[in-house]
Structure 1
Amino acid sequence: MSRVHRWAVPALSGTLIAASWLAGQVAPVAADPLMIAAAVVAGIPVLRGAYRSLRARTIGIDLLVSIAMIGALVIGEYWEAAAVTFLFAIGHALEDATLARTRSALAGLIESAPTTATVLRHGEQVEVPAHQVGVGEVVVIKHGETVPVDGTIATGHAAIDEASITGESMPAERVEGDKVFAGTIVTDGFLQVSTTGAGADTTLARIIHRVEEAQEAKARTQQFMEKFSTWYTPGIIVLAVVAGLISRDVALALTLLVIGCPGALVISVPVALVAGIGRAARDGVLIKGGEFLETAAKVDAVGFDKTGTLTEGRPELTDLIAFDGWTDAEVLTWAARAEAGSSHPLAAPVLAAAAERGLPVPAVPDQVTTVPGQGIIAVAGGRTVTVGNRALLGGSLTPDADASATGLAGNGRTPLLVALDGQPIGAIGVADRLRDEARDVVAALHAAGVKRVVMLTGDTAEIANAVAAQVGIDEVRAGLLPEDKLDAVRALQAEGLKVAMVGDGVNDAPALALADVGIAMGAAGSPLAVETADIALMTSRLDKVAHAIGLARRTISVMRQNIWIAMITVGTLLAGVLLGGVTMAIGMLVHEASVIVVILNGMRLLRAARRPATPAEQQASRPAEVVAVA
């Protein structure tokens, strides 16, 4: 609804009321007709609303106001009729305006969607509608322009403002091979991007669609309030009729109709949900709907996967231990010669460390045998090389090798024992670096009222316990297969806990689906995560988990405040009517004021909550150390 159309009815009705008052001073005969006209002008939209509701077999607020208006006109209370409908029209216009404001986050997303793209066709730059760009076509994006498609950088590098997708305020550096998303802005640089998705197939389009659905989805509390109002409104009509018959006071009965309007009660929940979900979307957190937001607010146990969630998912070589006169370089060389034939994630840091040190490693070993869950046995240069855990070495395990493996695991490293022709020659420690914000997030969850923070990992107990000790996690369940994680979630739920599971949305899909709330990290560019996760974090920033749960709790708190405001207002007005002193016009004024208070209270959720600085940000903000030289 346009701003002009929204305010047209109250403006005309108000003008007629003012004209009636003026006529009362100079031409009294015209005063009543003008007041009746004011009531009719403001009352026609109300009557239409009441008619539509009755056709849908519902009794709504419009019907209460319509009966009150008609009754007031019949008994000659023209001012009361005009005042009730005029105030109701103003309240309705303000509702429209403020509700539109609560949806501003979605409007901002829609506005960030680009409409045109510059495509390279036949060696020339051609401007076309963004949705007409084909997959594989190269799009040119210049400094200051909005990225019109999802794609991969073919050439160039740039600083890109990704706030519309991830909620991050600082531009991200992107180079060849990196993904870019429609709706982000090139703040500095020049790019040629190979298109992977355009129009409705972009991440931004999926986010907009998901937020639209989420803001329409109803929470359990909202469903209850709507059911309650379907009984409450007819109850008010019956109360007004009974009161009128007993007191023989029609004005009292009509006033009760106005006082009993459940407008603030009906709007109390949806306005908070719309604002909360909109704020989350602006912060790079997609919440699937009101039901999941409401459940997230009740979470008292959070399960974290370790690899790629608490850690960065990029293992690095951290330790080299040589036995019995062997050198570090020799241990690493033989290990790398074996791992050259492995696709295991732990092979990459070994090979990277060997390449960094310039060690000679053939492209492939002569022969490779992979032992699932234990390691690899390879033949290289006529020698048998074994790289893996203690179980793989079996009877060849020496006290030095066993002690090294125990020590590395105790420090949170994954131990790789290296043996040459059955003789242990050294040990390698590999670790996946913890995210900088991991400890802060666990502390924030505890501060928010989460009772248990649990690590669910397939890693060994020694490594998992070492990581948990660094982060402050309450409980560790290690050595888990995907189905074991399901059992772990079930066990927590059996204790009466509301469980949120945090993972990457792929490997942990079963546990994410079973948990009361599944939270998928790094969902940008993953259509599956955006569409299926209860809550999708568009970045891999772990602090978004605590932010999402905190925002959910703030939203539910506002919902409860709104419900109390509405109920106290109705109760107070009802007492005022029965005790005398509250007229129909005053009742409608207070009623509409309560509606606006409820909406404004919900709009507080649109304000960004202050986020604690991450350790990296805290370090960056510290002044440089000054060293005095004598």
Structure 2
Amino acid sequence: MQRFILKSKNQITLLSAILIATAYISKWAAGNTEVFTLALIVASVIGALPIAIQAYQALRVKVVSIDLLVTIAVISAFLIQNYEESAIVTFLFLFGAYLEQRTLNQTRSAIKELTEMAPESAFKQMENGEFVEVDVDDVDEGDLLLVKTGAKVPVDGTVIFGDGHINEASITGESLPVGKDKDSKVFAGTILENGTLQIVADRVGEDTTFGRIIELVEEAQDSKSQTERFVDRFSKYYTPVVLFLAFVVWLFTKDVELAITILVLGCPGALVIGVPVSNVAGIGNGARSGVLLKGSEVITDFSRVDTMVFDKTGTLTVGNPSVSETIYYSADSAEVLGYMASIERESDHPLAKAILEEIGEVEFSVVESTEVVKGGGIVANVNEHRVAVGNVALMEREKVYLSDEVKADIDRFMNCGNSLVLTSVDGELKVLMGVRDQIRKGVKENLRKLKKLGVKNLVMLSGDNQGTVDVVSRELGLTEAHGNMLPEDKSAYIKKIQSEGHIVAFIGDGVNDSPSLALADIGIAMGSGTDVAIETSDVVLMNSDFSRLPHALGLTKSISRNMKQNVTIAVGVVLVLFAGLLLSEWVSMSVGMLVHELSILVVIINGMRLLGFRLRK
């Protein structure tokens, strides 16, 4: 019976409204006081039922809830035959709860939208080679799947055949389609806008990027911030205090109506709902915008950050070295580039890929007698020529003459933060290449936004040499930059600045960043980083989009402000009502309930503003 009544709360609210309307129409239009009284009695009784049941259920777990205050107030008003007050108070309380739940559901719309985006089926290749539509739960890692135009990608996987453009908005927040072809990575929940792809499943079910996003957002929205926990503790003791105060007032004044009015005025509804709605709406905004905030506690700490520490490679820079400048010292450059490509294609050094991409399509030659010089480069015979590709130390080893002009070029390249790749043929220098990791597009502007948001110190820590680090630091206008740092050095630096009283956020993407991500007050992982980095962090920037960082900081500051505003509104309303009760005659039981419900709506609407938050330019 209890379950049925609680399930029918909305219908009871509607019936209560009809009865109250009937009561006043019969009194004003027909002057029928009997119908007026009867309708209000019935409205009071049916309206009080779900409230009383909720109060009883709370008492069973030793919680003195708002429902208990309202129940006592309504029963007391009923006993002194103040049926108007009892009927109106129950209706307003139920109607307020209905509006509260409806608007709260809207703040959780981000999770609902994400869940609706989840793929339900997939075209899986069977043993006979045909693709058959199956439930997505029947897909295992290693299965070959077909994705058609307009379909959702069912799992995280790798393209093995075909090409097309995918809308990755559900993962990155960006709706601009991304081109995919052989060996490209694709993510569950994204949509293939054109083309046809065959993919091999790498991650399925809850292990997919999309599944992890949903799990993280759900956990974050259900978590409680420090402010919210304080409000919970406050309400736990506040409600019994109001009950005791009402009893004391009745004991000394014998004024039942005054006592029950105090019960109604003391309802902390807006206080209880104000902070959660801010958290839920803010975390929902982040999920839509490619920013995963792992819990409400993160919001408070992140909003107070004054120092941001960045890893260089893959965070401030792309993490994919490319040739920035090339100087040729002979006319036979095409032939020399062919020799270089022939040697570098056999190397697994990170710079080799950058050089091959720069050289492009050439005719390869047979490479013989290859010698890998540790810390220097490679020496080999190509078309009966001795070819050396490496750094300055290798050239000196090969006794290659470096003129003053070449030395000046080398110094200039190094001052620009380049790693040097020199190529000699038969002891004569032919080519000088400068390879460097490129700074992410828009990083400088995003760092300026962070400063505008109150971040005082922007620090870069890197394992690269100090010269390269200094070049990047100068270009980006950082506060500090330290090179030649091992993971333990980065952790020690973070401990040092924390001991100086700074609230520190660390931004990184690799396994080596995990200790620093865990140690910092706020760990922020780039979304394309390692699983360890993402799991260790407090905030994840999806698709490694650095431009999301200012949005994330601005959002947490707005959430924190919004929570404080809601607490102020809630407490302010209670104080105003009590002042009105003591100093004037306009505050009654029903007026108090009306003002309370209006205050609840105000804090919910205020919190919902966060759903549309955008960082000002």
TM-score relative to the length of structure 2: 0.91
Provide the rounded CA distance (Å) in 2 between the counterparts of 1:594 and 1:379.
80
In structure 2, give the amino acid aligned to 1:106.
I
Residue matched to 2:245: 239
Residue matched to 2:21: 18
Query: Using a 3 Å threshold, how does the CA distance of structure 1 residues 416 and 111 change in structure 2: closer, same or farther?
Result: same
CA-to-aligned-CA distance 1:130-179 (integer Å, 9 cap, x gap) = 11122222222222222222222222212211111111121212112212
The answer (yes or no) to whether the contact 1:106–1:212 under 8 Å persists in 2 is: yes
SS in structure 1 at match of 2:319: strand
SS in structure 1 at match of 2:481: strand
Deviation at residue 341 of structure 1 after TM alignment: 5.3
CA-to-aligned-CA distance 1:395-453 (integer Å, 9 cap, x gap) = 97966665444321222322345577998776431111221111111111011111111
In structure 2, give the amino acid aligned to 1:282.
R
Residue matched to 1:486: 491
Residue matched to 1:264: 270
Provide the rounded CA distance (Å) in 2 between the counterparts of 1:537 and 1:239.
50
CA-to-aligned-CA distance 1:28-58 (integer Å, 9 cap, x gap) = 2343232122112121111111112111111
Deviation at residue 605 of structure 1 after TM alignment: 0.8
User: Where in structure 2 are the equivalents of 1:75-474 lying within 5 Å?
Assistant: 75-121=80-126, 122-321=128-327, 339=344, 342-356=347-361, 358=362, 360=364, 362=366, 366-371=370-375, 375-376=376-377, 378-380=379-381, 383=386, 385=388, 387-388=390-391, 403-417=408-422, 427-474=432-479
Residue matched to 1:620: none
Query: Using a 3 Å threshold, how does the CA distance of structure 1 residues 548 and 429 change in structure 2: closer, same or farther?
Result: same
Does 1:543 pair with 2:547? yes
The answer (yes or no) to whether the contact 1:140–1:192 under 8 Å persists in 2 is: yes
Provide the rounded CA distance (Å) in 1 between the counterparts of 2:289 and 2:188.
17
CA-to-aligned-CA distance 1:291-349 (integer Å, 9 cap, x gap) = 112211111111111112112122111223467x7976687667656655542212222
Residue matched to 2:564: 560
The answer (yes or no) to whether the contact 1:142–1:190 under 8 Å persists in 2 is: yes
The answer (yes or no) to whether the contact 1:337–1:380 under 8 Å persists in 2 is: no
Query: Using a 3 Å threshold, how does the CA distance of structure 1 residues 153 and 336 change in structure 2: closer, same or farther?
Result: closer
The answer (yes or no) to whether the contact 1:338–1:376 under 8 Å persists in 2 is: no
Residue matched to 2:71: 66
The answer (yes or no) to whether the contact 1:341–1:368 under 8 Å persists in 2 is: no
CA-to-aligned-CA distance 1:369-415 (integer Å, 9 cap, x gap) = 323xxx43545468583623669959979666654443212223223
Where do 5+ consecutive residues of structure 1 fail to align? 613-630
Deviation at residue 26 of structure 1 after TM alignment: 5.0
Supply the RMSD in Å over aligned alpha carbons.
Answer: 2.8
CA-to-aligned-CA distance 1:36-82 (integer Å, 9 cap, x gap) = 22112121111111112111111111111111111111222111111
Deviation at residue 463 of structure 1 after TM alignment: 1.7
Query: Using a 3 Å threshold, how does the CA distance of structure 1 residues 34 and 594 change in structure 2: closer, same or farther?
Result: same
| Residue range with higher mean Cα deviation, 68-77 or 193-202 | 193-202
| Residue range with higher mean Cα deviation, 442-451 or 490-499 | 490-499
SS in structure 2 at match of 1:99: helix
Residue matched to 1:9: 12
Query: Using a 3 Å threshold, how does the CA distance of structure 1 residues 460 and 328 change in structure 2: closer, same or farther?
Result: farther
Where do 5+ consecutive residues of structure 2 fail to align? none
In structure 1, give the amino acid aligned to 2:479.
D
CA-to-aligned-CA distance 1:270-305 (integer Å, 9 cap, x gap) = 101101111111111111100112211111111111
2:611 corresponds, among 598, 603, 606, to 606
SS in structure 2 at match of 1:539: helix
Provide the rounded CA distance (Å) in 2 between the counterparts of 1:555 and 1:392.
59
Residue matched to 1:621: none
Provide the rounded CA distance (Å) in 2 between the counterparts of 1:277 and 1:329.
56
Provide the rounded CA distance (Å) in 1 between the counterparts of 2:593 and 2:211.
42
Deviation at residue 496 of structure 1 after TM alignment: 1.4
SS in structure 1 at match of 2:374: strand
TM-score relative to the length of structure 1: 0.89
| Residue range with higher mean Cα deviation, 196-205 or 222-231 | 196-205
CA-to-aligned-CA distance 1:220-268 (integer Å, 9 cap, x gap) = 1111111111121112122222222233322111111111111111111
CA-to-aligned-CA distance 1:562-584 (integer Å, 9 cap, x gap) = 11111111111110111132001
Provide the rounded CA distance (Å) in 1 between the counterparts of 2:51 and 2:74.
10
Provide the rounded CA distance (Å) in 2 between the counterparts of 1:539 and 1:70.
58
Query: Using a 3 Å threshold, how does the CA distance of structure 1 residues 147 and 588 change in structure 2: closer, same or farther?
Result: same
Provide the rounded CA distance (Å) in 2 between the counterparts of 1:166 and 1:30.
61
Residue matched to 1:533: 537
The answer (yes or no) to whether the contact 1:68–1:254 under 8 Å persists in 2 is: yes
In structure 2, give the amino acid aligned to 1:10.
T
SS in structure 2 at match of 1:366: strand
Provide the rounded CA distance (Å) in 1 between the counterparts of 2:101 and 2:367.
68
Does 1:573 pair with 2:573? no
| Residue range with higher mean Cα deviation, 147-156 or 275-284 | 147-156
In structure 1, give the amino acid aligned to 2:185.
K
Query: Using a 3 Å threshold, how does the CA distance of structure 1 residues 424 and 508 change in structure 2: closer, same or farther?
Result: farther
The answer (yes or no) to whether the contact 1:72–1:81 under 8 Å persists in 2 is: yes
